[in-house]
Amino acid sequence: MSFGRFVLKRSLQGLGVVWGVVTVVFALRFVTPGSAINAVAPLDASQETRQAIAAELGLDQPLYVQYGQYIFDLLRGDMGFSYIRGQEVVGLVFARLPATVELALAASVVAIALSIPLGVLSATRRNQPVDYGATLFSLGGISTPNFWLGIMLILVFAVEFDVFNTSGRGVDVGDVAVSIVGSDPFVGTLLAWLAYITLPAIALGTYFMALITRLTRSGMLDELGKGYVQAARAKGLPNTLVRYKHALRNTLIPVITVLGLQLGTLIGGAVITEAVFSWPGLGTLVIDSINRRDWPVLQGSLIVIGTSFVLVNVLVDAVYAYLDPQVVND
């Protein structure tokens, strides 16, 4: 199977999962206490509103018609209407998506950039101080609730030392990009952006940094003990080349798989990190919608979150297949 065909196959599978996600979200209507109308209408809605909603959802129709209507609407980009906010769901959800993507990317970049070198260093300097340090750090990192870490960061960096912003997203990455060409000073905008994003990114990224450090360390230890590394050394290849080219490459493959699986944790973590830092992303929207019982917005957010998860996993698989062509044939 060629690389292209593999990616195509995974994309089709991913599409299947997205269909499953949509179906599950559709089914949420039926686990809503009381009538399915409650999944859409606010509790204090008048009888007229309820009837209008029932008609719009086609609740008098057979189930397959409702389902077909739901899928059809989604394909047209219609995620329904929030009666609580009086607005289209699709606009509300996609207005929030960029903030969450920005936060998740920032956290991942920080996590990956720091953890892989740390893991490699830890494995190649086994049982030296740096290894103990890295092990303790990663143990603490995977065991610390990220919302608490966020609060502690606020305590230290915002209350004790007034360095960072503790809430909101006053400057986004788009502003930074614009400042390169625009009239705003670039450095100032960049610093302002960093002041907003640094603490949330650390709070969210620490768990992943710790996890990847652990995985990289144990993977590298395995690889370094394997025959081919010994053989390469015997052939006189320089140590560094062996370490980084061969061993690291082989280590990263399982790391990437785990990361793909842990993406859900990243998004889940983003939800609570956003709550701590009042970050205006999908997470705060989800929590706010649950608190207001705004089920249509919750359903829309769930679809977007599930779909993003699938999309990133397909991407991860493609990278995986690129790094290790063998999986294509499995």
Ranges within 281-300 binding other proteins (CB under 8 A): 284-288, 290-293, 295, 298
Candidate residues 2, 48, 62, 330; the one interacting with other proteins per rule CB under 8 A: 48
Query: Shortest Cβ distance from residue 290 to other proteins (Å)?
Result: 3
Query: Shortest Cβ distance from residue 199 to other proteins (Å)?
Result: 12
Contacts of 293 (CB under 8 A, 6+ apart): 42, 43, 84
Q: Please count the helices (runs of H) and the strands (runs of E) in the chain.
A: 14, 2
Query: Shortest Cβ distance from residue 218 to other proteins (Å)?
Result: 8
Strand 81-82, strand 87-88: pairing: antiparallel
Contact range with other proteins by CB under 8 A, out of 60-68, 229-237, 245-253, 267-275: 267-275
The answer to whether the CB of 90 falls within 8 A of the CB of 189 is no
Report the alpha-carbon distance of residue 28 to residue 25 in Å, rounded. 5
Candidate residues 100, 122, 124, 165; the one interacting with other proteins per rule CB under 8 A: 165
Ranges within 241-260 binding other proteins (CB under 8 A): 254, 258
Angle at 285 between CA 283 and CA 289, to 5 degrees: 120
Answer yes or no whether residue 88 interacts with other proteins by CB under 8 A.
Answer: yes
Answer yes or no whether residue 213 interacts with other proteins by CB under 8 A.
Answer: no
Contact range with other proteins by CB under 8 A, out of 114-122, 241-249, 275-283, 315-323: 275-283
From residue 229, how far is each of 173, 175, 216, 242 by CA, in Å? 43, 47, 16, 7
Answer yes or no whether residue 240 interacts with other proteins by CB under 8 A.
Answer: no
From residue 203, how far is each of 107, 192, 230, 276 by CA, in Å? 8, 18, 40, 10
Between 106 and 281, name the residue whose CB sits nearer to other proteins: 281
Contact range with other proteins by CB under 8 A, out of 68-76, 104-112, 162-170, 237-245: 162-170
Contact range with other proteins by CB under 8 A, out of 60-68, 84-92, 182-190, 231-239: 84-92
Answer yes or no whether residue 146 interacts with other proteins by CB under 8 A.
Answer: yes
Report the alpha-carbon distance of residue 7 to residue 21 in Å, rounded. 21
Report the alpha-carbon distance of residue 294 to residue 302 in Å, rounded. 13
Candidate residues 226, 249, 278, 322; the one interacting with other proteins per rule CB under 8 A: 278
Answer yes or no whether residue 58 interacts with other proteins by CB under 8 A.
Answer: no
Query: Shortest Cβ distance from residue 40 to other proteins (Å)?
Result: 13
The answer to whether the CB of 141 falls within 8 A of the CB of 211 is yes
From residue 68, how far is each of 23, 57, 62, 73 by CA, in Å? 11, 11, 10, 8
Nearest CA to 40 among 307, 305, 298, 302? 298
Contact range with other proteins by CB under 8 A, out of 21-29, 60-68, 69-77, 100-108: 21-29
Answer yes or no whether residue 173 interacts with other proteins by CB under 8 A.
Answer: no
Candidate residues 80, 119, 205, 280; the one interacting with other proteins per rule CB under 8 A: 280
Nearest CA to 232 among 246, 211, 220, 212? 246
